[in-house]
């Protein structure tokens, strides 16, 4: 009886057969579906290549790269995080490309009876809790803060704000009905259906344009392959997939 157990333990210790080539992609969580779908396209023509997705808020992913995480491609939901990595010399020169844009939207639980049609409606006392991404690490939260400040609502809504660790957590809080409204990207609102519905979109002139940059990380061990993935993001096939998911093309 001991032998099978021993074999099982030994098998568990043997590393899974190493793939010929592996790319680690650090992806802003709002771009999850987009990158995964493009990833399938990418590996179809490249047998032996495996993609690993490391999802999180762009700020969190940025800090991981600064701390030396073995990442090949960084896909951010805002220029700020990419700017900081570039300034620190952690991005491979000439590989940075903006490949998509997005817009902010306010969502509410699908069964919510609240009539939210404009930003000022958020002041309604029946709106008790509003979730935004934590502006310290989450770009969606940074854009939301910008928009609320422009609208003159930021200070007045402080008591209602709940902060999420990334934009998908914000979406989750809304879909679970834990909050009455939340700021997410239009593409998240689409991904969150039918549990959430869009209430209104804050004016696009109230926040900086939302641009998604991608780049190869300086210490990538497979810069050629990594560059090919970034190229796919801006190629026509990539554009088509992203457009279908609701992302807008880069300017």
Interface ranges with other proteins (CB under 8 A): 59-60, 63, 66, 128-129, 134, 136-137, 161-165, 176-178
Nearest distance from C-beta of residue 71 to other proteins, angstroms: 16
Q: CB-wise, 52 or 126, nearer to other proteins? A: 126
Residue with Cβ nearer other proteins (23 or 179)? 179
Q: Give the Cα separation of 215 and 68 in Å (integer).
A: 16
Comparing CB distances to other proteins, the nearer of 33 and 60 is 60
Instruction: Specify the residue, 35 or 62, whose C-beta has the smaller distance to other proteins.
Output: 62
Residue 90: CA count within 13 A, CB half-sphere: 21
Closest CB 6 distance from other proteins, rounded Å: 25
Q: Whole-number minimum distance, CB 220 to other proteins, in Å?
A: 21
Tokens of 20: 């010929």
CA separation for the pair 250, 101 (Å, rounded) = 6
Could you tell me the two tokens for 19?
């793939």
Helices (H), strands (E): how many in the chain? 9, 10
**C-beta of 62: minimal distance to other proteins in Å?**
8
Strand pairing report for 161-164 and 196-200:
unpaired
66 vs 237, beta carbon nearer other proteins: 66
Q: In the complex, what is the shortest distance from the CB of residue 87 to other proteins, in angstroms, rounded to a whole number?
A: 14
CA 73 vs CA 47, 89, 113: distances in Å: 19, 14, 43
Element (H, E) at 240: helix 236-244
Nearer to other proteins, 195 or 218 (CB): 195
CB of 44 to other proteins, least distance (A): 35
Asked if 248 and 209 touch (Cβ cutoff 8 Å), the reply is: no
244 preceded by cis ω (within 30°)? no
């Amino acid at each position: 009886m001991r032998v099978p157990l021993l074999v099982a333990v030994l098998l568990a210790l043997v590393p899974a057969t190493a793939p010929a080539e592996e790319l680690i992609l650090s992806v802003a969580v709002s771009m999850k579906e987009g990158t995964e779908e493009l990833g399938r396209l990418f590996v179809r023509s490249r047998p032996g290549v495996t993609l690993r997705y490391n999802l999180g808020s762009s700020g969190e992913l940025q800090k991981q790269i600064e701390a030396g995480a073995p990442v090949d491609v960084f896909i951010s939901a805002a220029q700020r995080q990419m700017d900081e990595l570039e300034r620190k010399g952690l991005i491979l020169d000439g590989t940075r490309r903006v490949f998509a844009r997005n817009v902010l939207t306010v969502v509410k639980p699908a069964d919510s009876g609240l009539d939210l049609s404009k930003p000022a409606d958020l002041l309604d006392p029946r709106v008790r809790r509003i979730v935004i991404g934590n502006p310290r690490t989450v770009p969606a939260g940074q854009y939301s803060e910008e928009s609320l400040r422009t609208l003159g609502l930021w200070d007045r809504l402080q008591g209602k704000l709940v902060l999420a660790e990334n934009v998908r957590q914000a979406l989750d809080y809304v879909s679970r009905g834990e909050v009455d409204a939340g700021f997410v990207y239009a593409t998240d609102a689409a991904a969150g259906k039918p549990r959430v519905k869009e209430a209104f979109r804050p004016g696009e002139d109230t926040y900086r344009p939302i641009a998604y940059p991608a780049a190869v990380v300086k210490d990538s061990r497979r810069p050629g392959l990594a560059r090919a993935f970034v190229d796919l993001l801006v190629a026509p096939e990539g554009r088509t997939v992203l457009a279908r998911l609701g992302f807008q093309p880069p300017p």
